[in-house]
Amino acid sequence: MKIIISYLETESSPVSCLAAMLKNAGHLVKCIPRVKASKSLFKHSDMVISLGGDGTFLRNSRYLEDTPILGINPNPKEKEGFFTAIDLADFSPEKLQKFKILELPRLSCKINGKLQQHLAVNEIYFGKRKSWHVAEYELALGKRQEFQRSSGVIVTTGAGSTAWYHSAGGKPFSILQRNVKFVVREPYRGRINHPSLTSGSLGKLRIISKMDDGILVVDSFGGGVSLPYNSEITIQISKPLRVMSFKAARIRW
C-alpha cells in the first residue's frame, strides 16, 4: 500500500520507528510533518496514518475526502487520543489486515451560498470575534426563526459532543450517529428577548449574523472566517470521514 504518515513535528523519533516497520513489511511510505498536509497529497495514497494526538488527527482530517485515516498515539501518557485507534507500542503492520472502516459524520458550511473548504469533524462555532462581547444574530431551524443575543452557537457531530458542546450544556451522543445538534452558549434573556431555540437536533441550521465582526471557526483551527453584517451561514450534515479501527484495539467510542 501507499501510506502517508503525517506527524506532529515533535514526534521525529516515533515516526522513524513506524516508517521502518511499514517499509520492512513492503509498504511504500512517505513521511510529512502535519503542516505540509494537503488534499492533493492525501488523495493519491491508499491510507493516511495520523501520528500524534487529537489535534494532529483533526488537522489531517481537513484534507481527506475518501482516503481512510488511522490514528496512532505515540505517547498515550501525555496525549488523550480520543480519535486514535491504537497506541504505537501496540501497533504492527500485520494489524493493517484486520481493520474495519467506521464512517464519522462531518459538517459542511456555506457562507452566503459559498461552500467552505474544510469539513468539521467535531464542531462549528459561530459568535463574536471578541468572544467576551455579546453575539447578535437570527437563528432559523425549519420554519422557526428568532433573534438572539448570546455568547455564540456551537453546532456539533457525535464526535464533538463530548467536548466543547458538552461543556456548554449539551448531552453527548454516539460518534457514529448521523445527527447534528446545536447549543446556544449563555443565551441572554431579558425584558425583550426570550429565546426558545437554544438547543436541539437539525437537518439544516441557518444563522444570519447581525454584527459587523462575527466569526465562524471549524474544529477550533486558525483565526476563523470573518463575517460582516447580514452574512448568512448554513450548516448541515456532510460526507463522512473514513476512519480505520481494529476490533481488538482499545475503542474509546
- List the catalytic residues: 54
Alpha-helical (H) ranges within 26-144 are 39-42, 54-61
Specify the 3-state DSSP secondary structure of 28: strand
End-to-end CA distance of the chain: 27
User: Is the Cα dihedral 166, 136, 238, 44 positive or negative?
Assistant: negative
In whole angstroms, what separates CA 83 from the centre of its chain? 10
Burial class (CB in 10 A: 0-12, 13-18, 19+), 93: middle
C-alpha distance from residue 85 to each of 19, 53, 74, 129, 134 (Å):
18, 11, 11, 35, 39
Strands 199-202 and 99-111: unpaired
CA 60 remoteness from chain centre: 10
C-alpha cell read off for 213: 465582526
| Distance from C-alpha of 153 to C-alpha of 227, rounded to nearest angstrom | 14
CB 43 within 8 A of CB 21: no
| Length in residues, the chain | 253
Element (H, E) at 15: helix 12-24
DSSP structure class, residue 36: G
